[in-house]
Chains A and B, each alone.
Chain A
Amino acid sequence: MTDTPLLKVRDISKFYGARIGCQNVSFDLWPGEVLAIVGESGSGKTTLLNCLATRLMPSSGSVEYRMRDGGMRDLSRMSEAERRFLMRTDWGFVHQNPADGLRMAVSAGANVGERLMAVGERHYGNIRETAGNWLGRVEISVDRIDDQPRAFSGGMRQRLQIARNLVTSPRLVFMDEPTGGLDVSVQARLLDLLRGLVQDLGLSAIIVTHDLAVARLLSHRMMVMKDGIVIEQGLTDRVLDDPREAYTQLLVSSILQV
């Protein structure tokens, strides 16, 4: 591992008028590390994620990213062209609702191939082959390559969205409740798949979730948020097994034991 973090977040705050979205969040994300952000609805998880992924402009604070050439760049000082290029090559963003991240009116193959074409791939055969490979990797049968995502189940759509994001081999993936809205058995398969992919590709990921099981399975480290503030952070096992803050203890103890 290198000695510089992939993402360096310092004092990020986002205010919606007088209301707090998130406040004074700082952390480093290292290459190959998976960080989970947990907390109840309205605790500012998604706001924080959107600020990191440049989908929202933070009110204050800085986010620095280590580019492929090794230089640290402040995301807010990048030009929009550079940011958008980063988002479709070096980053991925997995939405909670797959319809937000997919083009529902074009085929699965084109959905996966879009990023390749966006970075200049102009050979139909190669694009299709790569798309087919990726469908295989996310356990979608290759004969569905010309079907539109409308014809897919929720779990398949979510896996397709993941394939679409990973096709340019990004180094950092943001996920917003990737398992939200899926039933438990499908969730388990998706988590299994994600864990495998993250390991194989050496991805860094920031996962927002309210599901502590997801955090336990996928993440190395976690941050607990409440009312826009990070109240506790540490290694996942430590936070879940030995929660220190009262709110974290409440959160952990409210997991249903079946």
Chain B
Amino acid sequence: MSTADLATYNFAYLDEQTKRMIRRAILKAIAIPGYQVPFASREMPMPYGWGTGGVQVTAAILGPKDVLKVIDQGADDTTNAVSIRAFFQKVADVAVTTKTREATIIQTRHRIPEEKLTAGQTLVYQVPIPEPLRFLEPRETETRKMHALEEYGLMHVKLYEDIARNGHIATTYAYPVKVEGRYVMDPSPTPKFDNPKMHMSEALQLFGAGREKRIYAVPPFTEVVSLDFEDHPFEIQTFDRPCALCGAENVYLDEVVLDDKGGRMFVCSDTDHCEERCAGGHRGSLAYDKEAAE
């Protein structure tokens, strides 16, 4: 038997009917910004929690001419990013890249790239728990009703608790936002540092939650406002030092432990951004050591 007789995967793994179903959910999500659209999430060849939702959204919108970038906590070279990228190379034979600028579709786990996204790009988020009210109200019937009737007082109860316990709003990721003045939405566990980037973004933002079977979206140029109190306004994280490799400021940094004597460094979480700056001649405090080691 020749290989041509063997069954192969459909383009981008999912069958065409499934893709149509997901596309319909995506269109509805775009039409109602921030609203969680239920969809018939499929079993994917990966465990829940590894991005089954994001992968299905990507598979549904991917075309042969697309250029795909996958990031995991900002990095292109971690397990989740590498395996999803390899997956789509195998099942869709699409071009892949690590460059934010060149990508048409960026699937992300918990970061928004530092470089400003432009019109025509689509950012696909992997979402573990799409319901922002979940930890305060366990009943799905009730949270749906609260969304329908715009009863969002409970969200502020959470922020109140934060201030009462810590003196400031201590939620640092999955920070709730209000989309286009209507739906309160969980921006997936991105650091709140990235929340302002969602506001009036030129790129289309799609969110897929595979286990919870929900898709939601923020269309381009949509108002995304982080919730806060008048006397405790929303603030993003700040860092008291620049990236140790490329010297970038006003970017989101990861802490890397260097040894067991308390040595640590802070580096860009967005590896593509960092590499590009290094190539451009920017140097941080530890950059020289790195080159010497090489």
Q: Which residues of A contact B (CB under 8 A)?
A: 80-81, 84, 103, 106-107, 109-110, 113-115, 117-119, 122-125, 127-128, 145-146
Contact = CB atoms under 8 A, between A and B. Distances in A.
A19 to B, nearest CB: 26
Contact of B157 (A84, A110, A119, A128): A110
15 contacts: A81-B149, A103-B136, A106-B157, A107-B165, A110-B157, A113-B157, A115-B153, A117-B153, A122-B229, A123-B229, A123-B230, A123-B231, A127-B160, A145-B164, A146-B164
Contacts of A117: 153-154, 156-157, 160
B161 A106 contact: yes
Given A123-B229, A125-B231, A113 B160 contact: yes
Contact of B154 (A84, A114, A146): A114
Given A114-B153, A114-B154, A119-B153, A124 B161 contact: no
Contacts of A123: 229-231
Nearest to A82: B149
B235 interface: no
A242 to B, nearest CB: 47
A145 B164 CA distance: 9
Contacts of B230: 122-124
Nearest to B160: A110
Contacts of A146: 164-165
Contacts, number: 53
Nearest to B135: A105
Interface in B139-175: 145, 149, 151, 153-154, 156-157, 160-161, 163-165
B151 to A, nearest CB: 7
B42 interface: no
A124 B153 contact: no
Interface of B: 136, 145, 149, 151, 153-154, 156-157, 160-161, 163-165, 229-232
Contact of B156 (A107, A122, A125): A122
A118 B165 contact: no
Contacts of B151: 84, 118
- Among A115, A122, A128, max chain B CB count under 10 A is at A122
A123 B184 CA distance: 19
Given A122-B230, A124-B229, A124-B232, A109 B153 contact: no
A164 B279 CA distance: 60
Given A107-B164, A124-B229, A128-B164, 4 more contacts: A84-B151, A118-B153, A122-B230, A124-B163
- Nearest 3 pairs of A and B residues by beta carbon: A118-B153, A117-B156, A124-B229
B229 A109 contact: no
B161 A107 contact: yes
Contacts of A113: 157, 160
Identify whether the interface residues of A are mostly helix, strand, loop, or mixed.
helix
A124 B231 CA distance: 6
A84 B149 contact: yes
B144 to A, nearest CB: 12
A80 B151 CA distance: 12
Contacts of A124: 160, 163, 229-232
A81 B145 CA distance: 9
A98 to B, nearest CB: 17
A110 B156 CA distance: 9
A109 B154 CA distance: 13
Contacts of B157: 103, 106, 110, 113-114, 117
Contacts of B136: 103, 106
Nearest to B149: A81
Nearest to B169: A124
A115 B160 CA distance: 13
Nearest to A107: B164
Given A122-B230, A123-B230, A110 B161 contact: yes
A113 B158 CA distance: 11
B159 to A, nearest CB: 8
Contacts of A127: 160
A108 B232 CA distance: 20
A117 B136 CA distance: 14
B138 to A, nearest CB: 11
- Count chain A CB atoms within 10 A of each CB in B154, B164, B229 and give the residue with the most: B164
A146 B166 CA distance: 11
B103 to A, nearest CB: 39
Contacts of B156: 117, 122
A146 B160 CA distance: 10
The CB with the most chain B CB atoms within 10 A, among A110, A114, A115, A119, is that of: A110
A232 to B, nearest CB: 39
Contact of A80 (B149, B161, B229): B149
Contacts of B232: 124
Contacts of B231: 123-125
A145 B160 CA distance: 12
A110 B164 contact: yes
A106 B153 CA distance: 14
Nearest to A118: B153
A119 B150 CA distance: 11
